[in-house]
Chains A and B, each alone.
Chain A
């Protein structure tokens, strides 16, 4: 019976990411490469933060509860900042790589736009961080037991899966906004991205009050989705046009090769 929980949670956590990958990325080899490179950058940031974590746990006092709690907060903050730093490094690298790419490209323009780059690398970050945050929980969900023998909520698995879903999508949106801010040199919005990342990570300290962490996270997700949408060139008008399916003639006017 518990294979049901495993598959349910896996679908919840990863199906948007997988759908996006299959339908928008997998067809284009260049995008796949950038996705994997993004995932790699996230991994390097995790490596660094876990190194720091390992050292600081070794030198900390293991009996002091408040110190351990403080260490955890410190670890989360450090990890978030490192992730954002690596996102910036990845952006810089892409800028540099672009010139090379352009040189070997036979066309006049880049085969991939910076917005697409932002989206692809953001999804790469999200996939990797989602995988790392949920895979051990998924592995335990296969067993016969469920959380709760010590009085914990038995909705642990499903809320973890929804949290992961939000984190993956958020990484994607943060990527889009982040790259856009860098392009336009709007440092305040860069700061907002980092702050919202910090905020969402700190929300997990609300656990095991899952409502307390999930609801604000999804609110942030909505805001970031809107912001990323507008950064990516979307607008309410586009959305309305799109939803009402009056796009045929609009297409003719604004058609532009991708």
Chain B
């Protein structure tokens, strides 16, 4: 019955089998309130906080990270953490333990959180998310991202393993990888937090350092996680349930989604394995990021800068590759789940090694990866390469020629471009997974020479503001979509550089290079869609109409999409979908097929589902039509499953592949209310017991003396019939 008013919106609540006792209670109450979902008494007691984001539990082969509450939620008396004094009050002196700690994001530091974690007097933490980022930087990620699954190990460049030469993310405090025994929620700073603050000020404020009086304002957080210990345990329990239980309950799900890939010349996507006479230049970037909290991952610099650069480069290459196709093919790859030990790229490599992918390693000529490039500010870009594989002369030659190609493209653009110290390792990148399999020549393009320039790596603050994607005031959404920000202009230059480098690396003629230019307008629209508002007219025109107008789980939002990889539940994540359709627009062509032909083009001459995917997209809305004229786009764009091979191989304790899983949960929620003093509660119980005893005694007395008491000697009617 506690949960009657309290079940969060269905897409966040993953359905589980019924727990009988709770349901019987619920049914009973529902019986009494058949058409009122929430009783007025409940509303008198509880104020539900809706705009919350929890921190959830993730598991890998050896650890669990994240947070959880007990199964019936964790309750604590609210205390606002503002000064070190408050921290002492919470962890040591305050009389009303356990406490629910309310803090603003500047206080959300490693030292504070670890002190709270080590205290037994903390019921949970609610962090109010303020939009001003800390000046000195904040990154809850580790200082050495994907430390154990990159290429550098004891057997491969041991002197470079574990970030021993370069700490890539020196600001990383590792909070995201801690396991907290209490729930931690993020609250949006708005009316709801005002209600919480008011409740705190009215009831819980300390007067002259003395403890406040009951009733006190308290908060309850629900985020019970079903999985525990590690992926091995959780998958074993899940498998056990699947084989023995009639009503199996999944405890955790592997993090997975889809990679997106496309080629400038179509290849047969249904035939797996080696492609004869194909040599590919792979241009890759990653699609995902994360932050401390669930499904909040703006990842502007960390991820989006790479996505938009590669998409704009793909568009810049389209016209030239149709006029003067280069001898080698270019393979655009967007890897999903890279934050969590390279899920997407390791799956691609695994598939290539096992002839399950459309190409294999013999088809790969070279590799160009776009890392974090958003903050280069026209200073300098850096070409990172792997020193270990370059010890081999042939590889070194090819890397040098790739570097020379990029440099010559840059010199045409007056960009300064450099290589870092030749002994420096590769930064965390998908390319590392390819190097694990074979020493492919390749380069990672990034805006940092050694450590990341990004001060908010994998944090809440890595937003559009950080990338300087900001608009003058008084612009309508349509004007903002078209507005060419400084960030758009500078990233367009990077995209042009990438496009020209790829063309040259693919063996294209130098004379054509000057015809390859990325479009600033496109870059502006990409940045707006990926960082500000995905529900814009351009994205709508590129997506199929059923996706645009979908009522349940709409993929277009009034804000930016979130880049957490999450779990693919039958359909790809919104970011994957956007990239797929935008890439189709960038590399494909509009055809004159009608809707049914578009769905099934196999009988039409010149069309082939093996070579292309066909999508019936909405089309741009014209001035007088609110919805556009839909048409069929033919493009060599495909999705490829990005699930870690560990789950296909059922090696849940794998050290080679990503084993990240996300725990399941039933409900996530938060509410505030007052708690009565223990004295008042005991007094109520005492009065109740007294009434019980008195009524037993009096009743016994009356019933035993009933004959005398009720013996009427006067006008009794004839009471018997």
Contact = CB atoms under 8 A, between A and B. Distances in A.
A256 B36 CA distance: 54
A234 B710 contact: yes
A136 B688 CA distance: 18
Contacts of B71: none
A93 interface: no
A157 B218 contact: no
B673 A238 contact: no
Nearest to B693: A15
A86 B705 CA distance: 32
B428 to A, nearest CB: 44
A11 B708 contact: no
Contact of B705 (A5, A23, A135, A247): A247
Helix, strand, loop or mixed for chain A's interface?
helix
B674 A239 contact: no
B710 A9 contact: no
A152 B687 contact: no
A74 interface: no
Contacts of A135: 32
B684 A9 contact: yes
Nearest to B32: A136
A128 interface: no
A196 interface: no
Interface stretch (B281-289, B398-406, B523-531, B694-702): B694-702
A2 B721 contact: no
Given A136-B32, A150-B44, A184-B717, A254 B674 contact: no
A2 B681 contact: yes
B1 interface: yes
A30 interface: no
Interface string B45-82: 11100000000000000000000000000010000000
Contacts of B710: 115, 232-234, 238
B39 A183 contact: no
Interface string A219-258: 0000000000100111100110110000100110011101
B720 A251 contact: no
A110 B720 contact: yes
A149 B47 contact: yes
A251 B688 CA distance: 36
B46 A145 contact: yes
A8 B32 contact: no
Contacts of B215: 146, 148, 154
Contacts of B673: 143-146, 149
B75 A144 contact: yes
Contact of B711 (A16, A19, A24, A233): A233
A257 B29 CA distance: 46
Contacts of A247: 705, 708
A258 B711 CA distance: 11
Interface string B34-48: 000001011011110
Contacts of B17: none
Contact of A144 (B39, B47, B220): B220
A149 B711 contact: no
B246 interface: no
A142 B220 CA distance: 14
B41 to A, nearest CB: 5
Interface string A123-161: 000000000000111011011111111101010111001
A144 B218 contact: yes
B685 A8 contact: yes
A24 B42 CA distance: 37
Contact of B1 (A15, A142, A229): A142
Given A110-B721, A146-B673, A241 B41 contact: no
22 contacts: A8-B689, A11-B689, A12-B687, A16-B691, A20-B695, A102-B721, A136-B32, A136-B41, A137-B41, A139-B25, A142-B1, A143-B45, A144-B75, A148-B45, A148-B674, A149-B47, A149-B673, A165-B691, A229-B709, A233-B716, A234-B709, A242-B705
Given A23-B699, A148-B215, 8 more contacts: A4-B682, A19-B698, A136-B41, A139-B25, A158-B684, A158-B687, A235-B714, A251-B708
Closest 4 A/B residue pairs (Cβ):
A145-B673, A11-B688, A233-B712, A8-B684
Interface of B: 1-2, 25, 29, 32-33, 39, 41-42, 44-47, 75, 199, 215, 217-218, 220, 671-676, 678, 680-689, 691-692, 695-696, 698-700, 703, 705, 707-714, 716-717, 719-721
Interface of A: 1-2, 4-5, 7-12, 15-16, 18-20, 23-24, 98-99, 102, 109-110, 113-115, 135-137, 139-140, 142-150, 152, 154, 156-158, 161, 165, 183-184, 229, 232-235, 238-239, 241-242, 247, 250-251, 254-256, 258
